Structure 1
Amino acid sequence: MTKTLITLLLGVIYSWPAISMAQEVDNLKIEVTGSVIDSLNNEPIPYASVSALLMPNQTCIARTVPHRNGTFLLELNKDSQYAIIISCIGMKTVTKNIKTGTSPINLHHIMLEEDSQQLGEVEVIAKKQRISLTDNGFSYSFKNDKTLLAENLLYAMKKVPLVSVSGDGTLSVKGGSNYVIYLNGKPYTLANSNPKEVLQSIPASSIEKVEVITNPDLRYGMSEGGSILNIITLKNQPNNYRIILNAGGNTHPAENAGVNILFTKDKLSASFGYSFNNTQLDHVPSSSYTETFLNETDKTVTTQEWETDGNITNHLIKGLLEYNIDTLNSVYADANFMLQRINMNTIYNNNYQTPSNPYYHSNVFDKINQHDGAREINLSYRNLYPHKKRERLLLTYRYAFNPDNKKNNVTERSFTDSENKDCYNEYIHKANTKGGLTEHTVQADYTIPLNKHTLSIGAKDIYRRSTSSPLYYEWNPETGTWIEGNKYAQNEIDKFKQKQNIWAAYLSYQLRLNQFSFSAGARIENTYNKIEYSNEKENEYSYHTFDWIPRLFLSYTLSQYSSLSLSYSSLIKRASIWQMNPYQQQVDEFSVEYGNPDIRSEKINQMNLSYYYFSNSVTFATWLDYSNTDNAIVKYPSQQNEKTIAYTYDNLGSYNKITGFIYISYSPTEALSFNINGRVGKTYMKSTRLDFKQHATHYSLNLSGDWNLKHDWTIGAQWGIFQQEPEMQIAYNKFQKYSCYVQKRMLDNKLNIRLNINSPFRNEKYREAVQHVQNSNFSRQTRFGIVARSVMIDLSYSFGSGKTSAKRKVIINNDDLLQNTGVR
């Protein structure tokens, strides 16, 4: 201990001259601070340009970009005269003349006004800035894009950089489906499970902006290679309201309708909404062809064809309340409820051939009834610092429940005589499952700003409880009653329970120095898992795991229009209840699926290099992602017997993925825009246990164009080609999509009518999505029917009083689980 103290003392003594010299240099400079504010709405303007010109020769000696809260800092020489120039696209440039002395100078709020020029009787107004860079991504301002006022949020999202929306309403980010949707800073689980239906029910006129968070910090949590779409809603000025109605339908067939009400009374802001969506399944065709290799020369062949009818109905109810206690304290609450009803009827025609028995035919009639209700509640308290109104403390609580209740009734008829179709064996059985996932989360976040430095600390506790109670019955034709049992070999488990408790804490540090921004942090997690069986106590077990999750991020702001960033992070992904539940779900003799309670969580390491450039006419972004995991949770097929293929989950091997992306948007005029969104990647998979190696290329390319015509008409078209990323022993075919639309805005943008046609030149109603499964024992090719040609119409109408503004709320995200929790 003494030796260590002596070493430290000597280090201080020898470094003192260098420290003294640095202090002397610092003593020759003073700090000039201020904040850049929009004069119309008193909101900060992040990433404007702030320059210091040494007078009188006007030499630029310092330049910086404000933080996203609008504040900036310049270090200038003492006893000198400067002109401080503040500029931003679409705003009038402001000049502040100062003379430095020995004390710091605070320019306080610098108000920028919109730039307009009078040319005779024609007023030319500069286009408002819509895209702004942030510390961990960028944002797109809906309120500055008047063409979106009458759109629904789903189709308005296509204006957001890196986001694509196909003609059938499929949303993708960075060319894929790996993204998480937030609403006012909290995970929007309702939209994550049903993005098309939920976003379609929200009018774009109720949205202030959408933030694309490409480098989530430790508070948000992280998803592999993914991004966060944070939707920031508007709230009315005091004592005003807005009502928004929407309805739509298509030839799929499907129909939807909804109403949203937003109002503010003094310090209280609220919104309530209800939406209805019904999707019908109309003779959806599918088929499969399976070969099982018995030896080098013999094999069995199974062919299956099936059609599905039915409907899926969703009723969504959501509410949001925010109360501003004073200028520094506020409370927030939201609640989301979903009632879902699924009715599906599927008829299978199966043929099975072996070397010894060339004919075996069966018909299966499968009826599924599912009545679910999910709920989610979020509560939070926020406290701000008096100076600059930055967040200091955030306390949050989240409750979510996702049920798993199904009824499956099956009638099987097997034929062994090809000559006599009236002679068959009939077997009737059913399976009922009852259970679900309950989740409670509490989180505390505290931020300490220290001039150029920011320190963030936080803690979180997640408690989860999963249950599943399967019941099996078969029909006794002699007594005409249901009796317990099933002819298939089911696991003898009466009730499965999983308890999980996660304690986590994080520490994050950020330094912003002129154009440079650096952050580093780590989160530690202690996880307790317990598996219980009501009738197999000897198989119960529990275990603890401890994980350390680092994050590093470095960015350089080249200008107010562009930035370059590099990041590294790791994350934990835990198995869902459905992946762990050993209950076997088997409809017929040819396939079975069950979970694996012995799955462990997977840890993923990922790196990202990205470059962004934004202006009002051109947007360009490119980035490179790499990720690796050595204990990936994989759904894989295996041969259970000559007839049956089994699907289950396990930690099977390693995944290495490298993916490149590019996004280009060009608007030569305010009325015309073109977009290119592309992705190409390579995935390497390896499993020692399965003695398996696989690598494959996956890609996507999406091209779109929009033209705003006179009299509030808009037309557009889109084309895309996609090759889905492979899985272990599973590959997919590529496919193309194309669509066109026409839109009309009326009644001062209050009413919007949109007609969209998907695949107008296809003759068939359904296209095929093909899945290929291949290993050393068998091969299977499955063709799924997906709607191809369809015509859709959407209408929205809004009315009310007052203008709008917005405020962001940040709640809780749990994205470690391989399933969404909350309202589904």
Structure 2
Amino acid sequence: MKPIIFPAFLLLLFWTSAFSQNKSSLKLTGKVTDVATGQPVEYASVGITDQLTSKVVNGAVTDSVGHFEIAGLGVGTFTINIDFIGYEKKSVKDVNVGAGGKTLEMGNIALTSSVKTLAEVTVTGQAAIIDNQIDKIVFNAANDVTSQAGVALDVLKKVPQVSVDIDGNVELQGNPNVRFLINGKPSSVFGNSLTDALASIPANQIKSIEAITSPGAKYDAQGTGGIINIILKDNRLQGINGSVNLAAGTRLENGSVNLNFRKNNFGLNAFFSGNKQLSSRTPSSQNRLSTSPTDSTQTRLLQNGFQDFQRSGYRSGIGFDWSLSKKDNLIGAVGYNNFSNSSSGITNISQTLLDPSGFPLSSSEILRNSTSKGGIAAIDWNLNYIKKFGKDGQELNVLYSSSFGKPRNSYYQLQNLTSERLPYAGASGNTPGNDKQTNISIDYSHPIKKGFIFETGVKTVLQNISSVADIRVFKPSLNQYVPDATQSYELGYDMKIYAGYLSTTFSLFHFLNVKAGARFEHTDVKIDFPNTSIPSYNNLVPSLIFSHNFKDEQSLKLAFTRRIERAEYRDINPFMNLSDPYNITTGNPLLKPEIGNNFELGYNKSFKNGGNLYIALIERINTDDVKPYTVLYPTYLIGDSTYVNVSVTNRQNIGIEYNSGVSVSGSMPITDQLNLRGNLMVTQKRVVNELLAGNVTNGTNWRFNLNATYQLPKDLILEGFGNYSSAINTIQGKRPQQLTYNFAFRKQFNHKNASIGFTATNPFTKYISQVSTIRTGNYISTTTVLVPYRSFGVSLTYKFGKLEFKKGKEQGNDFLHSAPSSDN
């Protein structure tokens, strides 16, 4: 534990004690439900009025389970007003708040359906876009009009403490080891290529994104950086409705259709979405100088060429939710995903041998044609049973989810001397496979008393992967590729995880909220590869969060969580990718899991105008830290083939990494029309490389983004967004800086049920130059990649269908109809 943690903890106790002496920390909580069905009422507005002055003193909106919490009330007598469209307004009078600073539990407040029939309903209001909670930050994408175009990658760029680079790599608080979920569940959609998966989820289907930086014991321990949970839109309103979304541009195209149906206590949802990244040419060059350890001669390698890259994919699925009774709910879904990407190009290679004084001894000019492809086709399904009991908050949750995918990867390359027509060398590889995954979990929560909740559960994760590596080498004498039995193989990978957890939430000393828990996971991995054995291992994963709510919507928290980063199959698979025979990548079957110990001290302030501010001090310590590691070999034997002057890169457990940082994020309505949102994160990284006798690498990285939206008359919205990430030292060189920006405007019409938008990304520069360096003991390499990032696009959105608020014929209530509206 770093020294910063101890004074931070003392600061927390001092601050909470001081505030508890002079400010009211009383909280008022409750739950809003439907009187007929017992189901929670989401997004109902809860206002508190002082009965003496008749002034509104505070308010809140119910969450996804109908719960609300209002803090910082003073002494007095109040009236609670609850209101939501389709229900009669309800008031609870004479709520007495006395001194003492404790939580006042209102219990269950039931709303009655309105019996009025309306020709048309228009709902307006300023909804919060960012919500800071004790263990996570929630970005409500459905409330951000300009987020409705594009894909999940575009929305993630706006989430506080999340960064996305131009290649689609995602980091949370500067850590790339992030666990992704959809609606709180694992999905095979992320199995083969995270970037492809995130590029396939339309932004208009996303309700919110949760950046869970301090996951509790209930969550899987996988992901040292934390968890990102993508919550898709659902619809609890009666009737048939849906949406159609189309987007076309110079670089990206996507489209989606979403259809919802609900009658009484049964609902269906079906969707289809497709996307395509149009073929674009990426120029690149490499300048590498290596030194022979035997005779001190040097070899200079120059590679200049291009790759034409494209990506496409589609997703489809159907799901249902069925309220069997007031206490029983059944949810199920099945989906199919298909993603693919490919690149092909030509590279000119110049290789020169130099004596120790730098005089050329020999040289060769080579032309290489190369192609690589990847993708996956997968089907997944899940069934979720939720049982509620007599006590509010007492719940049993049983989830079964499974998937079957067929990942595919291949490469091809052929080389010839520029002075000759016929090729002299080449290789090809094809690795089809099967990926089966099953998750079974049982979770139970039990309220012991007010403010004291106990949770427990068990989970099993089963994964089985099989693949075949069909490797062929080019034979000049035959002028064709022939199978290479020395490189070809069949591989089996089997992982079983058995987990259980205990967690509790309670109040301490009437002002300190505590959430504590521990999770135990046993992991058993078997891999069918020669001379490779992976022992089973156990991990105890504790989590502890202290928090205190102050008056005026302020809170402070101190959190500790331990996380695990198990090696993914693609990191373990020893398949040699020879699409560039001078720079080979492969897997490492002997990777050990990385362990992350994360500390966070955070302060949150919410403002009455809808703005908020969050400041956090972050410390992350990773042991058995996993990093890509490159080694240069003068000669390297693969099967019967010998490669000369080749670098081999795989992932290694390099030692310990320390990350100390500060994160500042906020959203502020400057005027009724102008809103600003920004994120700043500065991280000091220190890596102790035990592969190089404890060599230490230090580096400072800072990231900043700013989003500005301006509401013009006639439902026209303008937006500007910029993102910058500085360069940073790595254990073997330097990672490049990045600067991206985009402009957009969106026009809504037809009662906001339709819209048209235009976007421009990096409109003033065609390419983003990425310069990376790698240094080892015997060589230095500089690689420059020009990424074609400039693009222009147009998007169309249309929402259709009638929405009906009703209680069902068996209860004798009339129907409340509304005009076409949103599907969220």
Report the TM range for the smaller structure's normalisation. Answer: 0.7 to 0.9
Residue 508 of structure 1 pairs with residue 492 of structure 2: no
Residue 746 of structure 1 pairs with residue 744 of structure 2: no
The structure number with the bigger radius of gyration is 1
Mean alpha-carbon deviation: is it higher for 631-640 or for 712-721?
A: 712-721
Q: Can you list the C-alpha shifts for 1:742-798, whole angstroms capped at 9, x where unaligned?
A: 221121112211111122222xx2221121111211111111221232212222111
CA contact 1:766–1:785 (8 Å) conserved in 2: yes
1:639 equivalent in structure 2:
632
1:332 equivalent in structure 2:
331
1:699 alignment partner, SS class: strand
CA offset at residue 202 of structure 1? 3.8
C-alpha distance 342-98 of structure 1, shift in aligned 2 (>3 A)? closer
Correspondent of 1:610 among 594, 602, 614? 602
Correspondent of 1:83 among 52, 72, 77? 77
CA contact 1:410–1:587 (8 Å) conserved in 2: yes
Residue 373 of structure 1 pairs with residue 377 of structure 2: yes
2:435 equivalent in structure 1:
437
CA contact 2:659–2:686 (8 Å) conserved in 1: yes
1:706 alignment partner, SS class: strand
CA contact 1:89–1:128 (8 Å) conserved in 2: no
C-alpha distance 391-194 of structure 1, shift in aligned 2 (>3 A)? farther
Residue 412 of structure 1 pairs with residue 415 of structure 2: yes
C-alpha distance 713-327 of structure 1, shift in aligned 2 (>3 A)? same
How many angstroms apart in 1 are the aligned matches of 2:575 and 2:758? Answer: 45
Q: Can you list the C-alpha shifts for 1:448-494, whole angstroms capped at 9, x where unaligned?
A: 111121111111111122223211223446556542228xxx6x562
1:387 equivalent in structure 2:
391
Task: Return the TM-score normalized by structure 1.
Answer: 0.79
C-alpha distance 349-168 of structure 1, shift in aligned 2 (>3 A)? closer
How many angstroms apart in 1 are the aligned matches of 2:440 and 2:109? Answer: 39
CA offset at residue 139 of structure 1? 4.2
CA offset at residue 566 of structure 1? 0.6
CA offset at residue 434 of structure 1? 2.0
1:404 alignment partner, SS class: strand
1:596 alignment partner, SS class: coil
C-alpha distance 188-195 of structure 1, shift in aligned 2 (>3 A)? farther
2:536 equivalent in structure 1:
544
2:401 equivalent in structure 1:
398
CA contact 1:746–1:752 (8 Å) conserved in 2: yes
How many angstroms apart in 2 are the aligned matches of 1:45 and 1:797? Answer: 23
Mean alpha-carbon deviation: is it higher for 472-481 or for 278-287?
A: 472-481
1:583 alignment partner, SS class: coil
Mean alpha-carbon deviation: is it higher for 614-623 or for 81-90?
A: 81-90
CA offset at residue 224 of structure 1? 2.6
2:215 equivalent in structure 1:
216
CA offset at residue 671 of structure 1? 1.6
Runs (5+) with no aligned partner, structure 1 = 1-30, 75-80, 114-122, 416-420, 806-824
Amino acid at match of 1:183: I
CA offset at residue 407 of structure 1? 3.1
1:652 equivalent in structure 2:
654
Runs (5+) with no aligned partner, structure 2 = 1-25, 113-121, 356-360, 635-643, 807-824
Superposed, 1:170-189 pairs within 5 Å as 179-187=178-186
Residue 363 of structure 1 pairs with residue 334 of structure 2: no
2:641 equivalent in structure 1:
none
1:690 equivalent in structure 2:
692
Correspondent of 1:270 among 260, 268, 274? 268
How many angstroms apart in 2 are the aligned matches of 1:169 and 1:470? Answer: 27
CA offset at residue 132 of structure 1? 5.1
How many angstroms apart in 1 are the aligned matches of 2:616 and 2:97? Answer: 43
2:289 equivalent in structure 1:
291
CA contact 1:149–1:749 (8 Å) conserved in 2: no
How many angstroms apart in 2 are the aligned matches of 1:542 and 1:688? Answer: 21
CA offset at residue 133 of structure 1? 5.1
2:670 alignment partner, SS class: strand
Amino acid at match of 1:657: N
Residue 566 of structure 1 pairs with residue 558 of structure 2: yes
C-alpha distance 650-428 of structure 1, shift in aligned 2 (>3 A)? closer
Residue 483 of structure 1 pairs with residue 482 of structure 2: yes
C-alpha distance 690-95 of structure 1, shift in aligned 2 (>3 A)? same
Amino acid at match of 1:677: N
C-alpha distance 596-340 of structure 1, shift in aligned 2 (>3 A)? same
CA offset at residue 631 of structure 1? 0.9
CA contact 1:247–1:257 (8 Å) conserved in 2: yes
2:814 equivalent in structure 1:
none
Kindly report the root-mean-square deviation, in angstroms, between the aligned alpha carbons of the 2 structures. Answer: 4.2
CA offset at residue 443 of structure 1? 0.9
1:237 equivalent in structure 2:
237
Amino acid at match of 2:224: E
CA offset at residue 689 of structure 1? 2.3
CA contact 1:46–1:132 (8 Å) conserved in 2: no
Task: Return the TM-score normalized by structure 2.
Answer: 0.79
1:259 equivalent in structure 2:
257
How many angstroms apart in 2 are the aligned matches of 1:281 and 1:776? Answer: 38
How many angstroms apart in 2 are the aligned matches of 1:782 and 1:722? Answer: 19
Amino acid at match of 2:562: S
2:444 equivalent in structure 1:
446
2:234 alignment partner, SS class: strand
C-alpha distance 106-506 of structure 1, shift in aligned 2 (>3 A)? closer
CA offset at residue 582 of structure 1? 1.9
Q: Can you list the C-alpha shifts for 1:19-75, whole angstroms capped at 9, x where unaligned?
A: xxxxxxxxxxxx99972649999637899898999x9xxxx9xx999998647899x
How many angstroms apart in 1 are the aligned matches of 2:167 and 2:775? Answer: 31
How many angstroms apart in 1 are the aligned matches of 2:661 and 2:804? Answer: 43
CA contact 1:664–1:676 (8 Å) conserved in 2: yes
CA offset at residue 439 of structure 1? 1.6
CA contact 1:661–1:678 (8 Å) conserved in 2: yes
1:643 alignment partner, SS class: strand
CA contact 1:412–1:426 (8 Å) conserved in 2: yes
1:620 alignment partner, SS class: strand
Amino acid at match of 1:375: I
1:541 alignment partner, SS class: coil
Mean alpha-carbon deviation: is it higher for 273-282 or for 619-628?
A: 273-282
2:527 equivalent in structure 1:
531
Amino acid at match of 2:503: S
Amino acid at match of 1:361: E
CA offset at residue 696 of structure 1? 0.7
How many angstroms apart in 1 are the aligned matches of 2:599 and 2:708? Answer: 32
Correspondent of 1:585 among 577, 585, 598? 577
CA offset at residue 609 of structure 1? 0.8
1:190 alignment partner, SS class: helix
CA offset at residue 347 of structure 1? 0.9
How many angstroms apart in 2 are the aligned matches of 1:596 and 1:197? Answer: 24
CA contact 1:236–1:804 (8 Å) conserved in 2: no
CA contact 1:382–1:391 (8 Å) conserved in 2: no
2:790 equivalent in structure 1:
789
Correspondent of 2:619 among 606, 626, 640? 626
Amino acid at match of 1:495: E
C-alpha distance 175-48 of structure 1, shift in aligned 2 (>3 A)? farther
1:499 equivalent in structure 2:
494
How many angstroms apart in 1 are the aligned matches of 2:324 and 2:62? Answer: 29
Amino acid at match of 2:525: N
1:186 alignment partner, SS class: coil
CA contact 1:150–1:797 (8 Å) conserved in 2: no
Amino acid at match of 1:787: P
Amino acid at match of 2:680: G
How many angstroms apart in 1 are the aligned matches of 2:175 and 2:551? Answer: 29
CA contact 2:654–2:689 (8 Å) conserved in 1: yes
Mean alpha-carbon deviation: is it higher for 214-223 or for 241-250?
A: 214-223
C-alpha distance 570-380 of structure 1, shift in aligned 2 (>3 A)? same
CA contact 2:40–2:66 (8 Å) conserved in 1: no
CA offset at residue 395 of structure 1? 0.9
C-alpha distance 502-162 of structure 1, shift in aligned 2 (>3 A)? closer
Mean alpha-carbon deviation: is it higher for 589-598 or for 718-727?
A: 718-727
CA contact 2:149–2:247 (8 Å) conserved in 1: no
1:96 equivalent in structure 2:
94
2:382 alignment partner, SS class: strand
